[in-house]
Amino acid sequence: MRISNARDLGVYLREQRRAAGLSQEELATRAGVSRRWLSAFESGKSSAEVGLVFHLTAALGMFVEVNPEPPRELDLDEYLKRFEGNG
Residue 86 has pLDDT above 70, yes or no: no
Domain that holds residue 19: 1-87
CA distances 59 to 23, 33, 52, 80, 86, Å, are 13, 10, 11, 45, 49
Contact present, 74 and 31 (Cβ < 8 Å): no
- Taking only the tens place, the pLDDT of each residue in 16-60 is 999 999 999 999 999 999 999 999 999 988 888 999 999 999 999
Alpha-helix residue ranges (DSSP H) falling in 20-70: 24-31, 35-42, 50-59
Predicted local distance difference test score (pLDDT) of residue 48: 85
CATH number, domain with residue 57: 1.10.260.40
Residues contacting 24, CB < 8 A, separation 6+: 17, 35, 38, 39, 42
Contact present, 37 and 28 (Cβ < 8 Å): yes
Predicted local distance difference test score (pLDDT) of residue 68: 84
* Pairwise CA distance, residues 67 & 27, whole Å: 27
Predicted local distance difference test score (pLDDT) of residue 75: 77
Query: How many domains is the chain partitioned into structurally?
Result: 1
Task: Give the pLDDT band (50/70/90) at residue 87.
Answer: low
- Taking only the tens place, the pLDDT of each residue in 60-83 is 999 998 888 777 787 788 878 888
